[in-house]
Amino acid sequence: MNKLTALLVFCLMTPAMAAAQDDVSKRALAQELSRAFPQLENNLKSTINQYQMSASLSDLSTQTKPQPQVRTFMAAMTTANKTEIQARGLEKYTDELLELRLADPSMLARWQAGQSPLFAFEPEGAESEWQYIEAYDIDGNLHYLDVYDIPERPVLVVDTNNREELKAGLALMRDEFKALQSSEPSEKVKPAPYAMLRAAAEPTEINTTILKKIQLKDDHEPWISGKAEIYAIVSGVSPSRDEPTIDVIEMPYLDYAEQSYPANQIMVFWDRYRWGAADIILMEQDDKTDYKQLAQTILKAASDFLATIPDKEAQTYLIIPQMTSAIIALLPDDLFVNDDDFVDVFYTIMKDTEYTEHSGAGNNATADFAPLIIQKTQ
């Protein structure tokens, strides 16, 4: 293929073709793992247990004299790990994303007892379009597994550490929000009339709202996806400037649907929100999220909406659900690969108000919220 032909192929490559290229890379890692597994088995069995269902890249690098198959696999994993981090723009926030994960805790006993595992990877595209899960055995044979029924045979998945990715991604989003809002023209950041009414004295207490308990409905997730990684986007209006206030909050305990979690997590610091009102959007972390673009999209949607409201004090907190709906509506599909990103939204959570068995607008989440006042220490 000459240079001109190669250039034309690259320019004409469709998103589906690009996804297929990435899919081949994941498949190659699973194949390399099947070849290297006999030499990695003892290391993996000493690392993966009932308390830790995965092995990180660092865990896999502990062999002093690895065999050729292991060196080949580790080289491929290291390269893919670097590519994954760069693709998400997370170089400043993490140095490890890829891992090997046992697909389900129910498989642990059989694997530790000696049953030979399969080696799989999560398919590309929307979950609703998955037809099967591909997996290899140690002889290189390809198996096709059901998307929703957990296999009886243990499965090791070459996957992204979703919790680490989400932690790094939210840190990037916070930095992006800060950078974007600090770079706005001065005429956009004049004090709002509401701010002038606030007491000048330093407050002696911090008003918050905590999430006491939460439960999600079963969304019939494929078994290969593992635990859910949920985070919250808290949206409202700044008390001191006519601009949105956006906070992103990790919820690392919220692993499975149909389970009630006593979170006791602070969700809203009311000093950051005007009118004592805020909305809480629940999102599920998704493969290949562009966190920088996501932050830019959220802030632009909120800012553009607020710009259409000339007298914000006339409507007060009634504009917040409208702003949140504008955020949800503008989340572009191409930021995500899977189709289960938006989980639910709690509109108009008010300061000093308790909510019990409070359902989200989508009826997919039920939560208890309560006010919490924290006394400042000297």
Q: pLDDT tens-digit profile of 50-69? A: 999 999 988 988 766 788 99
Instruction: Band the pLDDT of 339: cuts 50, 70, 90.
Output: very low
- Res 256: pLDDT: 84
The reply to whether 153 and 166 lie within a common domain is: no
Question: 278 and 230 share a domain?
Answer: yes
Phi and psi at 282, nearest 5°, equal -100, 130
Per-residue pLDDT, 207: 96
pLDDT at 227 (0 to 100)? 85
**What is the percent of the chain with per-residue pLDDT over 70, rounded to a whole number?**
84
* 259 and 135 together in one domain: no
Q: How far apart (Å, rounded) are the C-alpha atoms in residues 123 and 131?
A: 9
Alpha carbons 354 and 3: distance in angstroms, whole number: 66
Domain boundary (113, 128, 160) is at 160
Q: How many residues does the chain have?
A: 378
Per-residue confidence (pLDDT) for residue 183, from 0 to 100: 65
The answer to whether residues 114 and 190 belong to one domain is no
Q: Which residue would you say has higher pLDDT here, 64 or 223?
A: 223
Is residue 238 domain-shared with residue 187, that is, in the same domain?
yes
255-279 per-position pLDDT tens digit = 888 899 999 999 999 999 999 999 9
Mean pLDDT calculated for residue range 11-28: 50
Same structural domain, 265 and 189: yes
pLDDT band at residue 241 using 50, 70 and 90 as cut-offs:
confident
One-letter amino acid of 219: D
Angstrom distance (rounded) from CA 377 to CA 204: 8
- Residue 327 and residue 282 in contact, taking contact as beta carbons nearer than 8 Å: no
- Number of structural domains found in the chain: 2
Q: Which residue has the tokens 């805020």?
A: 278
For the chain, the distance separating the N- and C-terminal CA atoms, rounded to the nearest angstrom, is 72
- Integer Cα distance of 365 and 125 in angstroms: 25
Q: Choose one of 139, 160, 181: the last residue of a domain.
A: 160
Tell me: do 126 and 114 sit in the same domain.
Answer: yes
Of 202, 192, 220, which Cα lies nearest the Cα of 314? 192
The highest-confidence range among 21-30, 63-72, 237-246, by mean pLDDT, is 237-246
Q: Are residues 154 and 195 in the same domain?
A: no
Query: Does 15 have pLDDT greater than 50?
Result: no
User: Domain range holding 233?
Assistant: 162-375
The 3-state secondary structure of the chain reads: CCHHHHHHHHHHCCHHHHHHHHHHHHHHHHHHHHHHHHHHHHHHHHHCECCECEEEHHHHCCCCCCCHHHHHHHHHHHHHHHHHHHHHCCCCCCCCCEEEEECCHHHHHHHHCCCCCEEEECCCCCHHHCCCEEEECCCCCEEEECCCCCCCCCEEEEEECHHHHHHHHHHHHHHHHHHHHHCCCHHHHCECHHHHCCCCCCCCEEEEEEEEEEEECCCCCCHHHCCCCEEEEEEEECCCECCEEEEEEEECCCCCCCCEECCCEEEEEHHHCHHHEEEEEEEECCCCCCHHHHHHHHHHHHHHHHHCCCCHHHHHHHHHHHHHHHHHHHCCHHHCCCCCCEEEEEEEEECCCCEEEEECCCCCEEEEEEEEEEECCC
Phi–psi pair at 78, nearest 5 degrees: -65, -45
Max CA separation in the chain (angstroms): 73
**Stretch among 1-10, 171-180, 365-374 having the lowest mean pLDDT:** 1-10
Residue 166 sits in the same domain as residue 263: yes
Among 125, 145, 160, which residue terminates a domain?
Answer: 160
Q: Are residues 177 and 276 in the same domain?
A: yes
pTM listed for this prediction: 0.84
* 108 and 188 both lie in a single domain: no
**34 lies in the same domain as 139:** yes
